[in-house]
Structure 1
Amino acid sequence: MDNRCFKLKRSLCALAFQLFIFALLMYLLYQLLPFALWLLCALTGLLVYHLFYRKTPQIEQFEYLDGREWSLTAKAMPTHRVSISHVIDHQAYIVVYFQHAKARPLLIWCDQLPLKQWKALKVLTKLI
């Protein structure tokens, strides 16, 4: 596999992080609210997660083309070309921002790629 083509798998770190934040929030609300109101908040949080977060398209693959040009392939969507405005490396994950204003930033967690590809991606982000 070329070291400019990155195939992403599902991130367990992202799921664990979201679960931790949700559990922490539910614990704090449990301390502050009556049980019935807390239960309503918990069910609303789960419903919002299921309806909105799970519906976002999952990026399966992205490939470095030239300069700031990359190609993205999402599930059930054709491959399209994007231009990256900037990249921020937070060690555990990388955030990729696109030139198009309506495009959502792409979060790439360290467990979505094999270690060799993760290091190659970090090198590419420094070059951008």
Structure 2
Amino acid sequence: MDNRCFRLKRSKCALTFQLFIFAVLMFLLYQLLPLFLWGVCGILGVLIYHLFYHKTPQVEQLEYLDGREWSLSTVKKTYRVAISHVIDHQAYIVVYFQHAKARPLLIWCDQLPLKQWKSLKVLTKML
């Protein structure tokens, strides 16, 4: 596999982080609200997760083409995208695209093997 083609797996770190934040919010709401309202908030939280986040298309592959041009592949389609800027947060990398409607892409450290993760960090520093 070329060091410019990154096949992304599902992130367990992202799911763990989201569950942790949800648990903290539910704990705080448990302290503040009556039990009935707390249960309603819990059901709404799970419902919102399944309606909005769970159905977002999973990015399967990110491939460096030239300069700021990248190829982004989902299950259904492949897009050619231009990256505006990249922010490295050590545990994850946020990729922002030039097209205003394109959502930023979060790449967690557990989505790639360690060698490819380091290669991606080097490529993002060059942008």
TM range (shorter): over 0.9
The answer to whether the aligner puts 1:117 opposite 2:89 as a matched pair is no
Q: Aligned partner of 1:100: which letter?
A: H
* Structure 1 residue aligned with 2:10: 10
* Structure 2 residue aligned with 1:82: 81
Give the SS at the match of 2:99.
Answer: coil
- Which consecutive unaligned segments of at least 5 residues does structure 2 have? none
TM-score by length of 1: 0.98
Identity of aligned residues (%): 79
Would you say how many aligned residue pairs link Structure 1 and Structure 2?
127
Deviation, structure 1 residue 79 = 1.0
TM-score by length of 2: 0.99
Q: Deviations over 1:43-71 (max 9, x none)?
A: 00000001110111100001000000000
**Cα separation, 2, equivalents of 1:122 and 1:62:** 13
Give the SS at the match of 1:64.
Answer: strand
**Cα separation, 2, equivalents of 1:78 and 1:68:** 20
List aligned pairs for 1:49-68, cutoff 5 A: 49-68=49-68
Q: Aligned partner of 1:95: which letter?
A: V
Q: Which contiguous aligned blocks of 4+ residues in structure 1 show a shift greater than 2 angstroms?
A: none
**Cα separation, 2, equivalents of 1:71 and 1:120:** 17
Cα RMSD for the two superposed structures: 0.4
